[in-house]
Structure formats: structure tokens, C-alpha cells
A and B are shown apart, each in its own frame.
Chain A
Amino acid sequence: MSNARANILARLRAVAPQEPAATPEPDFYPATKLGHAERIAQLKRLMEHMHAEVIVTDPQHWIATLKDVLRARQVNGLLYGPAGPLGAALEANWDSELPPLVGYTEEVEQCKERLFALDAGITSTRGAVADVGALMLWPDANEPRLLSLVPAVHIAVLEATHIHDSLADAIARERWAEGMPTNALLISGPSKTADIELVLTFGVHGPKELIVLVLDDERG
């Protein structure tokens, strides 16, 4: 079996190199440059089409908006990353009448049961892409990967200035190729399937609801 690598590469190397690149590579798209407000509007429209709920709010009052979102739902707790970008703000502003904040602070092996029993989770986002309507997440030690996947309700907080025109744009501007994280994600809505008669239904294995709070300084 150890010869597989050598054998495969030997077969591939045995073929004389083909003609050098001659195929022209046209641009991906005629790049669309959107303004700040257009980007938010496009993201909202596309993500809502995919059954996400997108609420544009201002950076001072997003926690109040979050509380409204939670009061409108029956959830048994909100999973969050205490050391993540949202942790301190959540802890400082939490009310006792709200579902309890539960920190994702241990390795999954230690807290799997609790994790799978919680109804809602909240994460920050790295940004979003407007052309297809998707959030970008780079989960890390402070906001782990399952936080945006296991709870039935995923609440994501997005800063409006971090919305890119496209994925291609984000990859280029943020120089992703120079260092990719353990896991990078695009998320365009709650989980869905059309595997039975192509009937689109939402909430299969991942979250049933995705709520996006867009923090926009220029709002109003």
C-alpha cells in the first residue's frame, strides 16, 4: 500500500507535459461594486429568501433587539462564547428573566450532552458576502464550530462594514490564501433539504432558524 503514492505519481509523471496554458480565463463576473446600503439590502433580500430572519439594528441597541428575539421564542438557554467578541457585552447586559446564558467553555468531549440539549446559540461573524447572500464565519477557540450548528436557533451578529461584494472579493481583500483557519464557513440560511420530491423544507440537521442581527452605524 505504501507504493500507491509512488505508483500513482510515476504514472502521472510518465506522461509528457501537455502544451502550456493556452486556455483563456475570462473574469469571473463583471465585478459589481455595491454601495454600503445596497450591500445590506441585497444581503437581507437574499438571506430572507432562504428563510433567514435579518434584522438591521444599530450597534448601541443590538442587545435589546436580541432580547426581543429571545422573548418571542421559547428557548431553554443561549449558548455563547464568553471569551469571544460578544461575551462581555452579553454578560454585562443580561437579565434574569431571559433564558440563561450558557458558556461554551469546555472541550466538546466534556460537554456534548449539554450542547445537544440547548435550543439556541449566538456567534459573531467574520463578515458576509452580498452577491449570494451568505455569512462568513471563522469559528475559533472562543466561538467553537458546533456553536453555529447544533442548537436549533442560530443567532449571528454581523457588522455592516464587514459585508463584501462577493466571496472572490473577500478572499482577495482579506488575503485568505496566506493563512486559512481550521474551519471557514459560508452560511446562507437555516439548514434545508429537498431530498423528498424536491419539496424544499427547512430545519433538517442543522439549525431550524437563522436570525441575523446586522449592526449598522449609518442606520437612519
Chain B
Amino acid sequence: MTETVVDFPKNFAEALNNSQLRRNLRAAMDTMGHRRRTLFADLDALEQLRARGDAIRWRALRQLPDLLEQLEKKCTENGIQVHWAETPAEANQICLGIIQRHHASRVIKGKSMVSEEMHLNHFLDEQGIEALETDLGEYIIQLDHETPSHIIVPAIHKNRDQIARLFHEKIPNAPYTEVVEELNAIARKVLREKFFAGEVGVSGVNFAVAETGTLCLVENEGNGRMCTTAPPVHIAVMGLEKVVERLEDVPPLLRLLTGSATGQLITTYFNMITSPRKPGEKDGPKEVHLVLLDNGRSKIWADPELRQTLKCIRCGACMNHCPVYTRLGGHAYGYVYPGPIGSILTPQLEGLDHAGAMATASTFCGACEEVCPVKIPITTILRRLRTESYDKADSPNAVKGHGYKVNRMESLTWKGWALSNATPWLNALNAKVLGLAGPHLSKLPQVGVLKHWGQSRALPPFARKSLHVLAKEKGIADE
């Protein structure tokens, strides 16, 4: 991974001070929340649907190894070639191998978060292969050498003026226009030529059905269908948790996904791919490849609590409703998956020692859990990650990089606190000393930890008498 050092405090400060970003986000997140609420107006029906979605994902995860083998068997029978990758590097090599075997240099891509996780574009670029994003939002940010800031609407941090300038500067002969329809038309024209010329199409997978060996893709623009139909080769990349057991599991999950993501009853296209072009058929790829990526998922799966992370269907509703995400946007998190789901997934994938700070980017308000279509207990997992940040013990299911926050000063402080609370005379002495110092403590020089904490808060003065003493004076019995 390239993102080893993320300076969270700096990122957060920059994002919070970017008023343009704050305005763009505010408007977008309010709209997405409103659309979701409008679609799921019947709350009882929604609860029933969420319970169903949760149960389907649980059932799939419970049988994960069996379903993956069944998916592989079915896909293979159907003519889809299945590849397994333990790491993003392996997955990239598999893609490169396929692309090179076809002597291809022009790859067209549909939206895929797993390909972002693999940093596939960057990897292919280094090999001299053009990997062009074709989803409008992804195309916009690729032009500006950015990464997605939201898993559903990747360019949500940009407004139309910014996109107008970008198109005018980066696309030859594109006029300057802030009319959204015209910007669309410019992109359509450029990308049509790319669809025509694309030699290999790459896509993600929303659901993979083990029962039939079917890959399901959800989209509105038609670029996903283009990438999976027009070129002679299609490579689908997916995290291995995306498998579901039966075809009948798909309709409830589809409703939950489109409703939670964008408040849509259904997207324009739901694309179900079960085989490459059969003899006599006139179009569609002659080869379809499915790359199953682990990248730490099997380790997450081993822990019954953390496993719930893998129920995620990537709708992004947790982001749209998160008071932290809606003020920062996705880039400040510094990793591929931002927001609440990113804050529980990324530290597990990358290690707490790298991304553990993401688990602290939460107010524990629980809005993410309330909207999650598959009922992931996000705050429970956040708390687990925070606890493990201070836990050096090597239990079999410990999260990678656990115990990274343990430091002598803090350990000593807490040891002292514990001792003080278990030793009545010491506790009384401490309370007395702090009480005497009382009002002066709020005038402590604001350095170190106090500097950040005190920036927008007044330090509270210590009371002259502790609660313990006050209670005693009131004659409340000390048990």
C-alpha cells in the first residue's frame, strides 16, 4: 500500500477549513438523506426489509467457504474463469496477466471499490496500460488525479464550477460550461470513443450468486454495461464476501442497496452476467474472468463479532448520515473506504497501527447503525477497535497492529488512577490537593494535549470539595 502515513489531524483541519468543500458536502448529504427517507417512508416495512437483508448476509457469511467453492464451480461450468488472490498485489498481477495475454493497452473500467483497494489504475499505468474510468464521477476525479471521496458518488466533493474548469482545461476542445447537461454531453462524447476502442473491460461485482454462478452489477449510466459487453474480455474483481447463496436473495438486497444508496426504487440497469459469449451469440466478451480478493477478509471473518463488517453491501448510507463524514468528506480519512464503514473496515484491512486513528473519527451517535441496511453494529466494532488499540495481548483474533497506542506515560497515569481509587487515604489526599489547586488549574498553560482540547473549550476548574466529601457532609452513609 502506498498510504502508510496519514496525517489525520492535518487532514481534518484542512477539510474543516475548506468552506467550499463544506458547502458541497452539506447540500449533497442532506439531499441523499432526504431521498432515502422518502423512499423508505414506511418504517415498519423498512425494518422488515432490513431484518431480511441482515439474515441473508448472515446466512451467506456463515457458509462462506462452501459458497465460494460453489460459486467457483458454477462459474467454471458457465465458462467464467475464476482466480483467487490473497493480496491486492496478486490481484493486480492476475489482471495484468490477462491484459497482456490479449496484447491490450486500453482498459475501460466501470466503478469498483475493490479496484480502488487494489490501486489497479496506478499499477496498470506503471505498466504502460491506459485504465480509463468511465463512470462519470470516477472519470471526473481521474481527470484531476484524485481518488473517490464517496463510495457511491465519487466526485461529490466537487461542484459544477470546479468540474467546468476541469473539463475545459483537461479535455481537448471542450468549451467552458457550467450547465450540467452540457458537461454530461462532453463526457458522453469522449467516453463513447473509449467504449468503442476498449480492449478489456474491468468491473466490480455487487452480488455474486453461488447457486447459478451469476455476477450482478447495479448502475444508472450504462457505462457498466458498456465495459462488460463491448470489449472482447471482461475482468470482474470482487471482495470474497460479496457472495450470496441463492438467486432469490438478490431482490431484497437490490432494493436495500438502491434505496439506501440514492433513494431509488431501482437503478436504470441491473445487469446479471452468467457466462461469456456463447457460440452463435453476436456480442458480449468472449472471455469473462472473476478475481476473488481476500486482502485480510478471511481474517476478519474468523472473528464472530468483526465478521459483521463483511455484511456490508457498500451503499454508502452510513456516510450520508455521519456527522463526521458530512463535515470532512472522504479524502480526509486518507484511505479508500471513508466514513463509518471505512472506519471499521480499513483498520482491520490495513492494521490498527496504520489506520487505527480512523476508529476515533466517530461521535458514537449511532446514526450509521440506524440506517445500515444490513444492521452492521458499527459502534460496537468501533469500540472493539479502540479497545484493541490499547491491548497488546496476542489473542488469535486480535486485529492487526493492535496495542499500537500503548505508551508508558498513559499506562502509568491509569495505574496511578486505579491505585488512587482503590486506596481510600490516597484518594482523599488527591482530592484535597486538586481541590486546593482548584481554580488555578484552569489557568494551566495550554500546551500538549491541552492545546487541542482547549482550543474550543474552557478548561473546567476542579471543585474545592470532592463529591465524596460533599456526600459525607450531607450525612449520606458511606457503604
Cβ-neighbour of A23 out of B24, B55, B160, B246 (below 8 A)? B55
Are A186 and B64 in touch, CB under 8 angstroms? no
A104→B31 CA distance, assembly (Å) = 42
Are A195 and B153 in touch, CB under 8 angstroms? yes
- Collect the chain A residues with CB atoms within 8 Å of residue B188's CB: 203-205
Interface on chain B toward A: helix, strand, loop, or mixed SS? Answer: helix
A207→B221 CA distance, assembly (Å) = 9
A193→B48 CA distance, assembly (Å) = 30
Are B184 and A204 in touch, CB under 8 angstroms? yes
A184→B270 CA distance, assembly (Å) = 8
CB interface residues, B 177-225, toward A, < 8 Å = 180-181, 183-184, 187-188, 191-192, 195-196, 211-214, 220-223, 225
CB interface residues, B 260-284, toward A, < 8 Å = 262, 265-278, 280-284
A30→B159 CA distance, assembly (Å) = 41
Cβ-neighbour of A198 out of B153, B211, B266 (below 8 A)? B153
Closest A-B pairs by Cβ, 3 of them = A206-B222, A195-B137, A186-B270
**Interface of A toward B, CB cutoff 8 Å:** 1, 4-5, 7-9, 11-15, 17-18, 20-21, 23-30, 46, 50, 104-109, 112, 116, 132-134, 140-141, 144-146, 149-150, 166-168, 171-172, 176-177, 180-199, 201, 203-207
| 12 further interface pairs, Cβ-Cβ under 8 Å (given A5-B84, A146-B229) | A11-B299, A11-B302, A12-B68, A26-B48, A107-B283, A133-B266, A167-B254, A188-B265, A191-B220, A194-B262, A196-B155, A205-B188
Are B267 and A191 in touch, CB under 8 angstroms? no
- Collect the chain B residues with CB atoms within 8 Å of residue A4's CB: 84-86, 90, 294
Query: Does B13 sit within 8 A of A, measured CB to CB?
Result: no
Which chain B residue has the least Cβ–Cβ distance from A183?
B273
Are B159 and A180 in touch, CB under 8 angstroms? no
Mind listing 16 A-B residue pairs with CB under 8 Å? A9-B65, A11-B294, A13-B65, A18-B62, A21-B58, A27-B48, A107-B282, A168-B252, A176-B212, A180-B214, A182-B284, A183-B284, A189-B268, A191-B220, A196-B137, A198-B28
- Least CB distance from B393 to A in Å reads 20
Which chain B residue has the least Cβ–Cβ distance from A189?
B268
Are A196 and B31 in touch, CB under 8 angstroms? no
- Knowing A23-B54, A149-B226, the reply to whether A184 touches B137 (Cβ < 8 A) is no
Query: Does B427 sit within 8 A of A, measured CB to CB?
Result: no
A20, A181, A205: most-surrounded residue (chain B CB, <10 A)? A205
CB interface residues, B 1-56, toward A, < 8 Å = 24, 27-28, 31-32, 45, 48-49, 51-52, 54-56
Are B294 and A46 in touch, CB under 8 angstroms? no
Query: Does B304 sit within 8 A of A, measured CB to CB?
Result: yes
Cβ-neighbour of A116 out of B181, B192, B212, B282 (below 8 A)? B192
Are B32 and A168 in touch, CB under 8 angstroms? no
- Collect the chain A residues with CB atoms within 8 Å of residue B93's CB: 1
- Least CB distance from A190 to B in Å reads 7
Cβ-neighbour of B225 out of A12, A177, A180, A206 (below 8 A)? A206
A167→B59 CA distance, assembly (Å) = 21
Are A191 and B28 in touch, CB under 8 angstroms? no
- Least CB distance from B264 to A in Å reads 9
- Least CB distance from B57 to A in Å reads 9
Are B31 and A26 in touch, CB under 8 angstroms? no
- Knowing A8-B298, A107-B283, A196-B183, the reply to whether A186 touches B266 (Cβ < 8 A) is yes
Query: Does B381 sit within 8 A of A, measured CB to CB?
Result: no
Query: Does B345 sit within 8 A of A, measured CB to CB?
Result: no
A192→B271 CA distance, assembly (Å) = 15
- Collect the chain B residues with CB atoms within 8 Å of residue A206's CB: 221-222, 225-226, 268-269
- Collect the chain B residues with CB atoms within 8 Å of residue A188's CB: 265-269
Cβ-neighbour of A184 out of B221, B267, B272, B278 (below 8 A)? B272
Are B90 and A1 in touch, CB under 8 angstroms? yes
- Collect the chain A residues with CB atoms within 8 Å of residue B292's CB: 8
Are A177 and B298 in touch, CB under 8 angstroms? no
- Collect the chain B residues with CB atoms within 8 Å of residue A9's CB: 65, 68-69
- Collect the chain A residues with CB atoms within 8 Å of residue B276's CB: 182
